[in-house]
């Protein structure tokens, strides 16, 4: 995953354009085939409109003495995303109005975009900005804004049931590592792992798009289907730094996405914190807009905004580690396993206990038995009493303090003995 | 307010009578015009009957040596309220059966009434009582109990909507300051402030009556209207001492009256405590009787019964301060403002976020913007996600930890941009 | 109770058989007449089948030198319950496979049964087991397994209403005191106390049976009636040791059985702990199986499994004390009293307070009155406001922090004055 991130790092990404499309292709090489969804410039998507496609070829500032101040080639962040084309000379005072830097982080180049306002601008370190001499500068932004498309890539793993799970990530950020190449590279590998599963119960949709306009566009086309079928969903972002896990709940606060993620984090024994939904953040804002209110949370490491390198050139490849990326991938894989294991079951003998002895599920001489471990025996007794068809195995896990995985194994044993059966179609 | 209380202090008040009526007139001079509601002696009101009117002209005890022991003129509390007329001589031993004093507060004259039992009696300090010599005493209570009326005064400020707010106080207590002239003087000034409001959403009813029989009578005539229209109500009592605020909840415990009062007290940063409803207290007992179960609480300073001067001559004008009366008035005014501001709103763009950028409600270049403060920007994002039409702005304030007043301002901005609209008629 | 336990101690009890029947007879001498319910060998009861009747006459092991190792006469626990008959010689190595002892409790004879598996075996102390010399042993178990019946004894105290209360205990354990003679002897005496009550509101059913198969059989015949009528039920077990009380909740967790037991324990001021239901334990497992889900909890002293003598010969008569048995009996009697007192009442004056003064229920001269204690006066005010017909007196007790018994007395006074009436038929 770290190697893939390194490959993707230098591409000129934005909401649209060649660098963005090349990014999808490199991810697809890992994830397996993606369906593409295209939304043409000018198309209405919910309350929004698809922007023009931005093609950036070159950009630089030259100092009064002709020396180069910044160039696109040196760092993609130097040019404000979606800058309009410009080539002119201008005095420092006027140039200053088009420069962005961070006085409190003097060595960082900030990340700025201006998708919908028709501006142009450059970003640079505050250190460098303070050394600019007076005089006439030359600026060039060789870019086009023209008809094109917002494009999404979607890997679909078909399940046996009607339920769907959404794994969403975004790849419109240029040359930053944790936010946001970590999400796409984990998502691509997760898609590969999902392809290895034998016919899962749920269908899995791993979707790569640009942030905000991507989820808006996806919802405008597929929101109705998601609302009808979505079991749980997660936004994969900030997935590669070695900080503790952060889980941000869906707007519902107790959706299956939330319950599963929190249970899995507890079972993994991983240091983590859980945050309630707020309407500031990433694409979960769209999935959790009040009309949809979908069960979509976000499992991250250190959350966007909570680390100083966020949205600057300091968020580079040194900030993400192979180990952290691996841990995040394993956590999402455990979430998938839990979603697959979680069912609502009902006993076939609800009035009085079933006689376990004659089924070989109870020690035959009143003391401890070797046939079943003490834990398995307790799980069996617990499930037979708990499973009245009104609550799922995850609720059983929460009520008993046992891992869902252990209960699912005990449940399988009881299903073999025809003592439990699923309540509803796999969903 | 303190000056008004001083003017009212010496009047001979009871459930009925000339002193009570004079009290209403002096309050009306501040509150603005009152409608009067009269309930004639003998009229059935719910489970009760309107008592006769009590006219008290003079009352005294003369000692065996002819010297005056106590007189009404000296202190209204010396005569038991609603005493039947008497003029006779009697031995000290018999007189003692008609005397009331407080051995544990030897310098206090207690406040006693006997509205419905046909007794007579005198109250005096225990210090004085212990000095009474043996011998024959002469007692006079020059009073009438005859046909008359219980009378209530009601100031009505009409609102634009159907909802009503009740601000209730009582003024039947003679010559005591905190309990109870503080409630009436704050209520009179609150009525004056309400008159200055431009067409409020709710109608406000500021009602002055005698305690218990007054609220019983009011409910018997207007209870059905209150049950249909009451948004929130408060009993104004013990409003003038400088102790911390006490809020006593309505019987429901989470009525709008309770939620608003508790939010306002928190926002004011005022030291306060919150008590659950108990069926001991003042007129909230009637409004919160189980049949009505109205959203009526009571915002006080130190609650009746919780200060040693309560219901004695020690509850005098020195116990209430202009500053405390002013703070209480401001708290009630803030409650009114909150009731006016609190609406249930719903977004006009519920599926995905509205595009704020093109409405000038989002910074155009990815960084901080000067157009909106960071707090306002967050409130906007919060409200657009929160306002699904199922909860009011107060719930939004509680969920976000922000003051209702700040959210109401952000909501106004969003209404100007047609992004929020009220769910229901103003109520 | 301790004397009765001593009488019962030596009998050879099991699920069935002469010793079990003799036990019922001795209990009946105290409890009063029992109805007998018989379930014949082979009968299907829910998911189970009634086992054969086991008659044990003699059992022993003789050592290679002819000396007696263990005999039934010495201790009933020496023979595994429901052992099949055997009389043969065998080497120590083979004998060992039929021996049960507790290496961690070397002086205890364990209690073992093998009801449904057709085994035979002996139990002995680990100390003794370790001294057995090599050689040929002779074993005898003179027993029959043949057609017979599982038999239950039920004492019924008829109530005036439709509700039923179940007091369940089990008496299939041989020669152990706390688990389980304490439950049966307390239950027998509780039945005797119940017989002394004048026509209770609820019917009481005190049932004595064998564990598990007994409750399964009872439910198979009477479960529908219980489901329709049961107000509350308790399993009486581990009732005689001097440890603190343990209350194990019903599966519902907040059933009337639970609320009453917890209130009574708090009012008694007895040290106690409360445990949520788990599907491991005694007959509450059957009553609380998900199909029935009855309001059945269990009030114990030290719970089965939580004391080291449990299910061994060390659980002897020294473990239970007359005082502890008496305390448990009083606790159950208090539970009965609370179940009888608990009703749902509704005021006859719901709109405004009733005028208490004219009914002599309020002090006539504003101060404290001698007619009613301050506590009674407060209880009256509380109940008149609380009793809206939606919650029972126990809820009133919980809301007010007052004992149910005190509120029930105040409620009786208000019923005499026609100010409260029961909402529903006595149930």
Q: Give yes or no: residues B336 and B366 share one domain.
A: no
How close is the nearest chain C Cα to the Cα of B372, in Å? 49
- The owner of tokens 């209570």 is B141
Per the DSSP assignment, residues forming a β-bridge with B100 are B123
- pLDDT score for A367: 52
- Spatial separation of the C-alpha atoms in residues C198 and B130, rounded to whole Å: 55
Measured between beta carbons, the chain B residues lying within 8 angstroms of C402 are: none
Measured between beta carbons, the chain C residues lying within 8 angstroms of B311 are: 366
How close is the nearest chain C Cα to the Cα of A346, in Å? 10
With beta carbons less than 8 A apart as the criterion, state whether A52 and A146 touch.
yes
- Encode A379-400: b = buried (16+ Cβ within 10 Å), e = exposed: bbbbbbbbbbeeebbbebbbeb
Query: Coil, helix or strand for C43?
Result: coil
pLDDT, mean over chain B: 95
Measured between beta carbons, the chain C residues lying within 8 angstroms of A414 are: none
Q: Give yes or no: residues B328 and B362 share one domain.
A: no
With beta carbons less than 8 A apart as the criterion, state whether B36 and B153 touch.
yes
Q: Give yes or no: residues A76 and A202 share one domain.
A: no
CB atoms within 10 A of CB B246: 19
Q: Give yes or no: residues B161 and B274 share one domain.
A: yes
Rounded average pLDDT over A68-84:
96
Choose among A278, A274, A250: nearest CA to A262.
A274
Is the pLDDT confidence value at B269 over 90? Answer: yes
Alpha-carbon distance values, C97 to C90, C94, C116, C119 (Å): 11, 6, 18, 11
Residue ending a domain, choose from A306, A341, A376: A341
Measured between beta carbons, the chain B residues lying within 8 angstroms of A215 are: 352
Q: Are B350 and A289 in contact (CB < 8 Å)?
A: yes
Higher pLDDT, residue C153 or B424: C153
Q: Give yes or no: residues C337 and C350 share one domain.
A: no
Chains that touch C (3 or more CB pairs under 8 A): A, B
State the pLDDT confidence band at B366, using cuts at 50, 70 and 90.
low
Rounded average pLDDT over B350-378:
82
Q: Give yes or no: residues A29 and A173 share one domain.
A: yes
With beta carbons less than 8 A apart as the criterion, state whether B260 and C324 touch.
no
With beta carbons less than 8 A apart as the criterion, state whether A261 and A247 touch.
yes
Q: Residue count of chain B, please give it.
A: 427
Residue ending a domain, choose from A107, A125, A146: A146
Chains that touch B (3 or more CB pairs under 8 A): A, C
Range in A353-367, B94-108, B186-200, C120-134 the model is least confident about = A353-367
Q: Are B290 and C350 in contact (CB < 8 Å)?
A: yes
Task: Catalogue the E-assigned strands of B268-425.
Answer: 272-275, 296-300, 344-347, 388-392, 420-422
- pLDDT score for C367: 52
Choose among B289, B238, B100, B92: nearest CA to C369.
B100
How close is the nearest chain A Cα to the Cα of B405, in Å? 20
Residues of A with CB under 8 A from a CB of B: 45-49, 80-81, 100, 110-117, 119, 121, 212, 215-216, 219-220, 223, 251, 278-280, 285-286, 288-293, 311
Residue ending a domain, choose from C127, C146, C165: C146
Q: A337-348, pLDDT tens digit by residue?
A: 999 999 999 999
How close is the nearest chain B Cα to the Cα of A127, in Å? 19
Distance from the first to the final alpha carbon of chain B = 31
- pLDDT score for B373: 87
Rounded average pLDDT over A91-95:
97
Is the pLDDT confidence value at A368 over 80? Answer: no
* Tokens matching residue A297: 């949370």
Out of C111, C113, C289, closest to residue A385 by CB: C289
Measured between beta carbons, the chain B residues lying within 8 angstroms of A220 are: 352
How close is the nearest chain A Cα to the Cα of B418, in Å? 13
- Spatial separation of the C-alpha atoms in residues C165 and C205, rounded to whole Å: 6
- Spatial separation of the C-alpha atoms in residues C141 and C58, rounded to whole Å: 6
Q: Are C382 and B119 in contact (CB < 8 Å)?
A: no
Q: A173-185, pLDDT tens digit by residue?
A: 999 999 999 999 9
Within 13 Å and on the Cβ side, how many CA atoms surround B52? 16
Q: Give yes or no: residues C77 and C28 share one domain.
A: no
- pLDDT score for C372: 83
Within 13 Å and on the Cβ side, how many CA atoms surround A269? 0
- pLDDT score for A195: 97
Q: What DSSP string runs through A65-94?
A: TS-EEEETTT-GGGB-BTPPPEEEEEEHHH
Within 13 Å and on the Cβ side, how many CA atoms surround B151? 21
Q: Are A365 and C113 in contact (CB < 8 Å)?
A: yes
- Spatial separation of the C-alpha atoms in residues C96 and C94, rounded to whole Å: 5
- The owner of tokens 């069912």 is A343
- The owner of tokens 């490849």 is A317
Measured between beta carbons, the chain B residues lying within 8 angstroms of C374 are: none
Rounded average pLDDT over C376-398:
96
Query: What CATH number is associated with residue B125?
Result: 3.50.30.90
Which bin fits C46, alpha (ψ -120 to 50), beta or left (φ > 0)? left
The phi, psi pair for A145, rounded to 5°, reads -125, 110
- Spatial separation of the C-alpha atoms in residues A298 and A288, rounded to whole Å: 11
Query: Coil, helix or strand for A140?
Result: strand
- Spatial separation of the C-alpha atoms in residues C101 and A261, rounded to whole Å: 47
Residues of C with CB under 8 A from a CB of A: 45-49, 80-81, 100, 110-117, 119, 121, 212, 215-216, 219-220, 223, 251, 278-280, 285-286, 288-293, 311
- Spatial separation of the C-alpha atoms in residues B239 and C263, rounded to whole Å: 39
- The owner of tokens 């590998």 is A189
Which bin fits B292, alpha (ψ -120 to 50), beta or left (φ > 0)? alpha
State the pLDDT confidence band at C427, using cuts at 50, 70 and 90.
very low
Q: Are C110 and A367 in contact (CB < 8 Å)?
A: yes
Total number of domains constituting chain C:
3
Is the pLDDT confidence value at B160 over 80? Answer: yes
* Tokens matching residue A393: 């195995």
Q: B21-37, pLDDT tens digit by residue?
A: 999 999 999 999 999 99
How close is the nearest chain C Cα to the Cα of A385, in Å? 6
Measured between beta carbons, the chain A residues lying within 8 angstroms of B349 are: 46-47
- Spatial separation of the C-alpha atoms in residues B97 and C318, rounded to whole Å: 65
State the pLDDT confidence band at C37, using cuts at 50, 70 and 90.
very high
- pLDDT score for C203: 98
Angle between helices C322-341 and C404-416 (to 10 degrees): 30
Angle between helices B182-196 and B18-31 (to 10 degrees): 30
CB atoms within 10 A of CB B68: 11
* Tokens matching residue A319: 């900030």
Which bin fits C380, alpha (ψ -120 to 50), beta or left (φ > 0)? alpha
- Spatial separation of the C-alpha atoms in residues C242 and C205, rounded to whole Å: 27
- pLDDT score for B426: 43
Measured between beta carbons, the chain C residues lying within 8 angstroms of A385 are: 251, 279, 285, 288-290
Q: Give yes or no: residues A58 and A44 share one domain.
A: no
Measured between beta carbons, the chain A residues lying within 8 angstroms of C49 are: 355
* Tokens matching residue A396: 């059983």
Q: Residue count of chain C, please give it.
A: 427
Alpha-carbon distance values, B219 to B48, B293, C256, C356, C381 (Å): 12, 12, 37, 18, 19
Query: What CATH number is associated with residue B267?
Result: 3.40.630.10
Is the pLDDT confidence value at A44 over 70? Answer: yes
Alpha-carbon distance values, A263 to A260, B6, B171, C147, C204 (Å): 5, 66, 60, 52, 45
- pLDDT score for B338: 98
Q: C246-280, pLDDT tens digit by residue?
A: 999 999 999 999 999 999 999 999 999 999 999 99
- Encode B3-26: b = buried (16+ Cβ within 10 Å), e = exposed: ebbeebbebbbbbbbbbbbebbeb
- pLDDT score for A116: 83
How close is the nearest chain A Cα to the Cα of B264, in Å? 24
Rounded average pLDDT over A361-380:
77
With beta carbons less than 8 A apart as the criterion, state whether C170 and C214 touch.
yes
With beta carbons less than 8 A apart as the criterion, state whether C236 and C375 touch.
no
- Spatial separation of the C-alpha atoms in residues C88 and A207, rounded to whole Å: 75
Out of C351, C364, C381, closest to residue B117 by CB: C364
The phi, psi pair for A201, rounded to 5°, reads -70, -45
Angle (CA) C143-C146-C149 rounded to 5° is 115
How close is the nearest chain A Cα to the Cα of B426, in Å? 23
Q: Are B216 and C353 in contact (CB < 8 Å)?
A: yes
Rounded average pLDDT over C229-239:
98
- Spatial separation of the C-alpha atoms in residues A92 and A94, rounded to whole Å: 5
- pLDDT score for A311: 96
Number of cross-chain residue pairs from A and B with Cβ atoms under 8 Å apart: 78
- Spatial separation of the C-alpha atoms in residues C203 and C160, rounded to whole Å: 7
Q: Are B48 and C355 in contact (CB < 8 Å)?
A: yes
- pLDDT score for C332: 98
- Spatial separation of the C-alpha atoms in residues A421 and A415, rounded to whole Å: 6
Q: Give yes or no: residues A105 and A248 share one domain.
A: no
CB atoms within 10 A of CB B276: 11
* Tokens matching residue C392: 């029972």
Rounded average pLDDT over B351-374:
79
Distance from the first to the final alpha carbon of chain C = 31
Out of A352, A364, A387, closest to residue C219 by CB: A352
Q: Are C366 and B285 in contact (CB < 8 Å)?
A: no
- pLDDT score for B367: 52
Global pTM value:
0.91
- Spatial separation of the C-alpha atoms in residues C166 and C234, rounded to whole Å: 6
State the pLDDT confidence band at A426, using cuts at 50, 70 and 90.
very low
Is the pLDDT confidence value at C333 over 60? Answer: yes
Q: Give yes or no: residues A47 and A65 share one domain.
A: no
Out of A113, A212, A291, closest to residue B350 by CB: A291
Measured between beta carbons, the chain B residues lying within 8 angstroms of C385 are: 251, 279, 285, 288-290
Q: Are B285 and C378 in contact (CB < 8 Å)?
A: no
Is the pLDDT confidence value at A366 over 60? Answer: no
Q: A314-324, pLDDT tens digit by residue?
A: 999 999 999 99
Q: A101-138, pLDDT tens digit by residue?
A: 999 999 999 999 998 888 999 999 999 999 999 999 99
- Spatial separation of the C-alpha atoms in residues A145 and A51, rounded to whole Å: 9
DSSP conformation class of C308: T
Mention every residue, 6+ apart, whose C-beta is less than 8 A from residue C296: C166, C168, C230, C232, C233, C234, C235, C250, C255, C257, C284, C287, C288
Q: Are C385 and B251 in contact (CB < 8 Å)?
A: yes
State the pLDDT confidence band at C117, using cuts at 50, 70 and 90.
confident
Is the pLDDT confidence value at C424 over 80? Answer: no
Higher pLDDT, residue A316 or B425: A316
Three-class SS of B109-165: CECCECCCCCCCCEECCHHHHHCCCCCEEEEEEEEEEECCEEEEEEEEECCCCCCEE
Q: Are A112 and B355 in contact (CB < 8 Å)?
A: no
Q: Are B364 and A290 in contact (CB < 8 Å)?
A: no
Q: Give yes or no: residues B139 and B73 share one domain.
A: yes
Q: Give yes or no: residues B83 and B209 share one domain.
A: no
The whole domain housing C142 covers 54-146
The interface predicted TM-score (ipTM) is 0.93
State the pLDDT confidence band at B118, using cuts at 50, 70 and 90.
confident
Mention every residue, 6+ apart, whose C-beta is less than 8 A from residue C170: C180, C183, C184, C208, C209, C210, C211, C214, C215, C237, C282, C283
- Encode A266-275: b = buried (16+ Cβ within 10 Å), e = exposed: ebbeeebeee
């Amino acid at each position: 995953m770290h190697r893939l991130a390194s490959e993707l790092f230098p591409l000129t990404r934005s909401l649209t354009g060649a660098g963005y499309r090349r990014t999808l292709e490199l991810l697809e090489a890992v994830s397996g085939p993606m369906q593409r969804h295209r939304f043409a410039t000018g198309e209405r998507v919910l309350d929004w409109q698809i922007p023009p496609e931005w093609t950036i070829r070159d950009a630089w500032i030259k100092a009064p003495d002709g020396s180069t101040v910044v160039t696109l080639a040196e760092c993609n962040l130097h040019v404000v995303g979606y800058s309009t084309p410009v080539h002119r000379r201008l005095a420092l005072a006027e140039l200053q109005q088009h420069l962005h830097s961070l006085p409190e982080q003097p060595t960082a180049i900030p990340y700025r975009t201006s998708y919908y306002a028709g501006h142009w601008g450059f970003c640079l370190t505050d250190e460098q900005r303070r050394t600019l001499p007076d005089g006439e500068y030359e600026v060039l932004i060789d870019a086009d804004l023209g008809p094109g498309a917002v494009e999404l890539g979607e890997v679909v793993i078909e399940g046996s049931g009607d339920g769907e799970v959404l794994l969403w990530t975004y790849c419109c950020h240029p040359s930053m590592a944790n936010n946001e190449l970590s999400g796409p590279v984990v998502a691509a590998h997760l898609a590969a792992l999902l392809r290895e599963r034998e016919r899962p119960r749920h269908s899995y949709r791993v979707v790569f798009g640009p942030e905000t306009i991507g989820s808006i566009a996806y919802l405008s086309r597929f929101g109705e289907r998601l609302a009808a079928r979505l079991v749980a969903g997660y936004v994969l972002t900030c997935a590669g730094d070695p900080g503790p896990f952060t889980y941000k709940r869906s707007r519902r606060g107790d959706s299956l996405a939330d319950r599963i993620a929190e249970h899995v984090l507890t079972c993994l024994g991983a240091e983590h914190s859980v945050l309630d939904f707020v309407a500031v953040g990433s694409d979960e804002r769209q999935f959790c807009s009040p009309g949809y209110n979908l069960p979509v949370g976000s499992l991250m490491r250190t959350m966007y905004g909570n680390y100083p390198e966020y949205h600057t050139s300091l968020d580079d490849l040194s900030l993400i580690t192979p180990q952290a990326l691996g841990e995040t991938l394993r956590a999402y894989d455990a979430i998938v396993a839990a979603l697959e294991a979680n069912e609502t079951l009902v006993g076939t003998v609800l009035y009085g206990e079933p006689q376990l002895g004659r089924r070989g599920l109870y020690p035959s001489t009143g003391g401890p038995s070797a046939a079943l471990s003490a834990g398995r025996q307790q799980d069996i007794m617990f499930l037979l009493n708990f499973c009245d068809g009104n609550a799922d195995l995850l609720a059983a896990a929460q009520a008993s303090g046992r891992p869902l995985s252990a209960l699912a194994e005990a449940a399988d044993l009881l299903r073999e003995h025809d003592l439990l059966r699923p309540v509803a179609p796999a969903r």
